[in-house]
Structures are given as structure tokens and as C-alpha cells.
């Protein structure tokens, strides 16, 4: 083969680069609105799954340790008010006391655009019975059943809403069953 007839081509032409950039821009313009609609719903479902998982964690720890494990909402600890806290309730009063072991704590601020649905549950988005501190609370006993502040069976629902107005709830039955609606 003659070296004069052989083309040595290194890199891309400006036209090829412009076409590639145009394709990327078209794909981005098509996908961006879909992602922007999907993201708030993803955060809503993730917040509900997080509470569901932490309720399951509380139940599992109660059974494992054969003691009460409480979930208290709007719980202040060390200057921060957490949306809910899961802790080993050593004195069975459904109130967080210094020295009790915190298993999990969550801020809904981690799920931007998600909050408790204040149009549900008496204005705070929660139907759990209040403890003596006035905070909605529920505990799991060593047998997996729930407990309220009065000592009987506890039950309740946490209602979530996102910026799109979509809602989801986490329900705990008196028998200790936990589900997402």
C-alpha cells in the first residue's frame, strides 16, 4: 500500500463532536423531566420504607433481647429533635431517658420534600398514643406484640406527604404487624 494514499486520521472532526454533543443534549432534555417527576416519589417511598424498616428493627430487637424497644416520634436528643427514635426502653415507660441505648434515629430532612402529613392523624400526621412527655410513641414487647403508654396494645399510623401532594402511610397493628399503604 502506498503511503501517499494512506490516510492517517487521529481524533475526531468538529462536525463529529458537534453531532455527539447534540445527541447528548437531546437525551438529557428528554430524560430530565422524567427524573424530576420521579425523584419526589422516590424520596416519599424511601422515607416510608425507612420507617417500616426501623419498626421491623425495633420489633426484632425486642424479641431478641426479650425486652421493650420503643419508637418515639418528635424526640429531642442532645439539642436535635429527631422525627423518630428507636431505643431500648429499659424502664418500659416509652420515654427516652439518658443512658438508654439508641438503635436508630431519623430526620425527614434527609428525604427532601417529604414530611408528616399534618392533614392526617390529628394534625401531626401520626395516630400513635402519646407518652407522658406528650410525644407519639409505640413499643414492641419481647413477644413481638405492641404496647402503648397505658400498658395495653398499641397501634397507629404515620402518614407521609411529598411536594407533589402524594401520600403514603406506615401502619402498625396491635398484633405487631407492620405494613406500608
Summarised one tens digit per residue, pLDDT across range 103-132 is: 999 999 999 999 999 999 888 999 999 999
Instruction: List the domains of the chain with CATH numbers.
Output: 14-180 (3.55.40.10)
pLDDT recorded at residue 6 = 54
- Residue 113 grid coordinates: 420534600
pLDDT recorded at residue 85 = 97
In the sheet with 80-88, reading across from the earlier edge strand, the strands are 102-106, 80-88, 69-77, 137-140, 146-147
| The dihedral formed by the CA atoms of 150, 155, 161 and 166, expressed in degrees to the nearest 10 | -160
pLDDT recorded at residue 37 = 78
- Band of the pLDDT at 2, cuts 50, 70, 90? low
pLDDT recorded at residue 3 = 55
Q: What is the pTM of this model?
A: 0.80
Amino acid at each position: 500500500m502506498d503511503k501517499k494514499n494512506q490516510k492517517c486520521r487521529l481524533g475526531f472532526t468538529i462536525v463529529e463532536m458537534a453531532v455527539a454533543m447534540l445527541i447528548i443534549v437531546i437525551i438529557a432534555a428528554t430524560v430530565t423531566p422524567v427524573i424530576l417527576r420521579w425523584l419526589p416519589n422516590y424520596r416519599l417511598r424511601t422515607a416510608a420504607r425507612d420507617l417500616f424498616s426501623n419498626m421491623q428493627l425495633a420489633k426484632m430487637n425486642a424479641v431478641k433481647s426479650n425486652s421493650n424497644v420503643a419508637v418515639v416520634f418528635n424526640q429531642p436528643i442532645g439539642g436535635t429533635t429527631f422525627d423518630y427514635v428507636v431505643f431500648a426502653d429499659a424502664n418500659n415507660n416509652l420515654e427516652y431517658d439518658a443512658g438508654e441505648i439508641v438503635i436508630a434515629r431519623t430526620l425527614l430532612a434527609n428525604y427532601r420534600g417529604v414530611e408528616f402529613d399534618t392533614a392526617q392523624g390529628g394534625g401531626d400526621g401520626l395516630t400513635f398514643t402519646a407518652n407522658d412527655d406528650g410525644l407519639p410513641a409505640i413499643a414492641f414487647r419481647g413477644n413481638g406484640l405492641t404496647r402503648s403508654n397505658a400498658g395495653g396494645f398499641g397501634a397507629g399510623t404515620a402518614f407521609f406527604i411529598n411536594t407533589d401532594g402524594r401520600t403514603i402511610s406506615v401502619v402498625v397493628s396491635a398484633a405487631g404487624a407492620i405494613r406500608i399503604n
